[in-house]
Chains A and B, each alone.
Chain A
């Protein structure tokens, strides 16, 4: 039982490049989330999903897109990376009604 896994662990992009972060969970959770963590800002929600085929915007969705084609996977896309998107990205999942969220190990992204 791997829990929540994230790919890749580290990535460096140039401004304007695109990439996709992959999150996978093997706990059969309905809800999945993408957060970004910046110094002094805590974690902020980018997008989330309440089930396969659904997505919704969080607090800071601009510049990101997401897809949930399979229940176990939640993809975060950056269409045209900007230096302001340099951050650590965390994926999480949960199974209502408990709502305890399980976090992945994070992806450290640097945009130069």
Chain B
């Protein structure tokens, strides 16, 4: 079945460091891909998405490109802030079904 694998954390960075969180997927067809973020004590929020190959999703300085050839959707940010500390989930969705999530990656940014 479809699945999402993302790098295990926690990821610990200093403020202004470069961030990469790896995400790869296994799916039939052409799923939409998402990154969700969960801040402490809150529900998940959509961070960015891409619906077809080579699409780049971006939001709040975060970017991810839908790479069909490598089945990847890695999350990047050029300069992280303390406020970016959260849990990040990669997910895929086939049309008409629910999301399939990775296990989440905890990011901790210190000043």
Chain B contacts of A105 at CB under 8 A? Answer: 42-43
Is A96 in contact with B103, judged by CB distance below 8 angstroms?
A: no
Chain A contacts of B43 at CB under 8 A? Answer: 4, 90, 103-106
Closest partner residue, chain A, to B94 (CB atom): A99
Q: What is the total of A-B residue contacts with beta carbons within 8 Å?
A: 46
| Residues A30-63 near B (CB distance < 8 A) | 33, 40-45, 48, 50, 58
Chain B residues with a Cβ closer than 8 Å to the other chain, count = 19
Closest partner residue, chain B, to A105 (CB atom): B43
Name 12 A/B residue pairs within 8 A (Cβ), A-sorted.
A33-B98, A33-B99, A43-B44, A43-B101, A48-B98, A92-B99, A96-B96, A97-B95, A99-B93, A101-B99, A103-B43, A104-B43
B104 CB to closest chain A CB (Å) equals 5
Chain B contacts of A44 at CB under 8 A? Answer: 101
What residues of chain B have their CB less than 8 Å away from a CB belonging to chain A? 32, 34, 36, 42-46, 49, 89, 93, 95-96, 98-99, 101-104
Is B49 in contact with A100, judged by CB distance below 8 angstroms?
A: yes
Chain A contacts of B95 at CB under 8 A? Answer: 96-97, 99
B38 CB to closest chain A CB (Å) equals 9
Given the known inter-chain contacts A42-B101, A45-B98, please indicate yes or no for A103 contacting B49, CB distance below 8 A.
no
A74 CB to closest chain B CB (Å) equals 13
